[in-house]
Structure 1
Amino acid sequence: MAEHYLSVDQVADLLGTTVRFPRRLIEERRIRYVKVGRHVRIPESAVEEFIAARTVEPIRLRRVGLRRAA
């Protein structure tokens, strides 16, 4: 299956951020990317991995029997 590659602008739109954020991720090597000549492309799977790795699941609190104070 062929991988779909996104431009920095497309990744910014997908994440709902400015272009500066994906550029910083690339500069800090916090996301996989491919250089094609002078162009930088980010595999769609790398964006999905980035989101999955930083997804925080909610804490499920158990209800303990509450007692009424007198």
Structure 2
Amino acid sequence: MKTLDRLWTVNEVAAYLGVPVGTLYQWRCRRIGPPGRRIGKHLRYLPEDVRAWVREQA
């Protein structure tokens, strides 16, 4: 059984993608970036969603 990955923060996704944090927020507003979820007041990303989004960009 695979261990579930923890959710990624905005900073972790930005580092993974090599883009500024502000770019992620702009993409989110324009609905063109990887799907994120609000957990309380925090924005978090599922690692598999981010990886799938990257694959779709190719």
- With normalisation by structure 2, the TM-score equals 0.77
| Counterpart residue identity of residue 33, structure 1 | G
Cross-structure match for 2:7:
5
RMSD, aligned CA: 1.5
SS at match of 1:5: coil
Structure 1 pair 3–28 and aligned structure 2 pair: CA distance change class (3 A): farther
Cross-structure match for 1:34:
37
**Deviations for 1:4-59, whole angstroms, at most 9, x for unmatched residues?**
2111111111111111121122222332211111000011011101110011xxxx
Distance (Å, rounded) in 2 between the aligned partners of 1:45 and 1:24: 21
Which has the higher Rg, Structure 1 or Structure 2? 1
| Matched pairs, number | 55
Instruction: Name the stretch that deviates more: 18-27 or 39-48.
Output: 18-27
| Counterpart residue identity of residue 17, structure 1 | V
Cross-structure match for 1:17:
19
Higher relative contact order (CA 8 A, sep 6+): 2
Question: Quick check: which one's helix share is greater?
Answer: 2
